[in-house]
Amino acid sequence: MGLERIEYKKPAELQRMRAAGLVLAEALDTTVAAAAPGMSTKELDEVFAAVLAKHGATSNFLGYYDFPATICTSVNEEVVHGIPGARILQDGDVLKIDGGAVVEGWHADSARTVILGTADPEDQRLSDITEEAMWAGIAALASARHIGEVGDAIDDFVTEQPGAPLGILEDYVGHGIGSAMHMAPDVLNYRSGHKGARIKPGMAFAIEPMLVRGNIETVTLEDDWTVVTTDGSRASQWEHTVLVHQRGIWVSTAVDGGAERLARYGVTPSPLA
């Protein structure tokens, strides 16, 4: 992907990406609120789809390489790309909800981890560290000269945490986004020694660390989508879409543009003009 052309968005196009991000934020808020033991993952997909329909937005997941749903629902050792279906959620499950929205041809992509009912403290720690690692990466983007600095910041944050070490998946990374969901450049979640693309206004990125409590080795199940840890360890995924413009950055899939969570890093996101 590194050889593909990077897309630079005009201000009006970034505004449409912001509109898609706000629809997606509402859809995820509603789906997370509905998630509970006893629900099926298919029911959650229906909740999400209804919010998109209410706003006249479309799903960038449904039909993507024949993916059959509007969200990915990955449970426990399932890391990413889980297909919603008849599975009934249980108390203590670690659920990753990954979804997207398209408004006037422009995309947003975001994911959250939800622990249902009574959380195992180590699962909660996994989710909390993954989420904060995402924000550390977003904060780094605000002053980064090259995209590789995002992965450096995520890696540094994760490895500095006390307690049992967590693994950072390397096979699945963030990406550019805009007129398509997956675009150049890749956004690594770990130190690679490569600077990567130079950051310029008009770029947009989906920053999405995925962490596991055990080994980072994964395998894809027979459905050709669901990715699971080979040792059965539980996983977490958090993701936001971030826009780069002339005056700074803006998290399109956060209602406040990321202001509250970025404040602890001394970063003030700048609204789009």
Nearest to 107 by CA among 175, 49, 178: 178
- Element at 152 (helix H, strand E): helix 148-159
CB 135 within 8 A of CB 150: no
> Can you tell me which residue has the tokens 């490569």?
194
| Gap between the Cα atoms of 71 and 78, Å rounded | 14
| Gap between the Cα atoms of 206 and 212, Å rounded | 19
Q: Is 149 annotated as a binding residue?
A: no
CB 8 within 8 A of CB 89: no
Q: Is 81 annotated as a binding residue?
A: yes
| Gap between the Cα atoms of 260 and 268, Å rounded | 9
Q: Is 107 annotated as a binding residue?
A: no
Q: Is 175 annotated as a binding residue?
A: yes
DSSP E strand boundaries for the chain: 71-75, 78-80, 94-103, 106-115, 167-168, 174-176, 183-187, 204-207, 210-212, 218-220, 227-229, 235-237, 240-245, 248-251
Q: Is 240 annotated as a binding residue?
A: no
DSSP states of 40-57: BHHHHHHHHHHHHHHTT-
Residue 246 has which token pair?
């002339």
Binding residues for substrate: 81, 182
Binding residues for a divalent metal cation: 98, 109, 175, 208, 239
Binding residues: 81, 98, 109, 175, 182, 208, 239
